[in-house]
Amino acid sequence: MEIISLIDRPELMQPAIQYFWKCWGSASNFKFYEDCILYSVQDKSRLPMFYVLLHEERIVGSYALLTNDIISRQDLMPWLACLYVNEEHRGQGIASQLLQHGLAEANRLGYQQLHLSTDLENFYERKGWLYLTDGYNVMGEAIKIYTCKTAQSSSKSS
């Protein structure tokens, strides 16, 4: 299995757009995912960035690094979002690999911390992420925000 940035494999763009949308989208927001992902591949040194996990050239997982995860705490960044592993590949430590890759990529970009928002209970805590606070989604619902150090010492701040 290999984690690929869409910047490095533009031929995966259309399958990746479909994958992210099917995992996270709805009938009414395909254009949101398409537009966001299409315009993410212009600069390898800035966000947003989208990644896919390939198994035998088939996308079986994903994540993204974003400037905002459509949450009220816009003072925090970057955000890890869209973490997904196909059901048949779960329970193999793949989500942990994707999380570690995301931390390494945030580190490469010079960020000291990475954030995420979730309604999952105890998943990210087991992976070493720390609960930071609650934020609010666009519907006004509270959602947990977690943070994790990227183990770097660059000058960019989160």
Query: Which secondary-structure segment (H or E) carries 35?
Result: helix 30-38
Residue 96, in any domain of the structure: yes
Answer whether residue 87 is part of any domain.
Answer: yes
Of 37-41, 50-54, 145-149, minimum mean pLDDT range: 37-41
Average pLDDT value for residue range 87-92: 91
Q: 152 CB contacts (<8 Å, ≥6 apart)?
A: 106, 107, 110, 111, 112
What's the pLDDT at 155? 43
CB 50 within 8 A of CB 62: yes
Greater model confidence, 127 or 155: 127
Q: Is residue 136 part of a domain?
A: no
Determine if the pTM surpasses 0.85.
yes
Quote the domain boundaries for residue 26. 2-111
- The answer to the question of residue 151 being in a domain is no
Q: For the domain that residue 29 is a member of, what is the CATH number? A: 3.40.630.30
d(CA 104, CA 140) in angstroms, rounded, equals 32
Distances in Å between the Cα of 158 and the Cα atoms of 5, 111, 139 are 22, 6, 25
